[in-house]
Amino acid sequence: MKQVDNPCVGEPQPTEPRPVVEYEMEPVYPYRPRRISPATFDLTGFTPEEYLDNPTLFAVRLHPDDLARVMSMYREVTQAGTATAEYRFMHKAGGYRWMRDELRLV
């Protein structure tokens, strides 16, 4: 288990099932969302429509210390075909939640 300076609400324990949200994004900056599965609501408190209507929603809810790492993950996937990052995301109800993205260019 990793050491966390500022524990976040909702960090799954190793034995808990992890929710999966599938999404598609434009492969170039500003990486606008094209499609997001309904499971995003359970994980973030936001509906797919909220993400699609406000393309900057994801970036403004990222923890400031994680923003550069996540943006570099999107650049990496366009070059390498895959990328992974863990980051903190501010849930709609408040409090940061740990997320893990595993991206694949299709």
As given in the structure block, the two tokens for residue 86 are 């863990």
Q: Which pLDDT score is estimated for 9? A: 54
In sequence order, which ranges of 12-89 are alpha helices (DSSP H)?
A: 40-44, 48-53, 57-61, 67-80
Q: Give the model's confidence band at 27: pLDDT under 50 very low, under 70 low, under 90 confident, else very high.
A: confident
Mean pLDDT of 19-41: 89
As given in the structure block, the two tokens for residue 27 are: 């492969």
Residue with tokens 């740990």: 98
The model's pTM is 0.79
**pLDDT reported for residue 42:** 93
The whole-angstrom separation of Cα 82 and Cα 102 is: 7
pLDDT value of position 55? 87
CA distance readout (Å), 15 to 4, 30, 51: 18, 35, 30
Q: What mean pLDDT is predicted for residues 21-44?
A: 90
Average pLDDT (5-33) is: 71
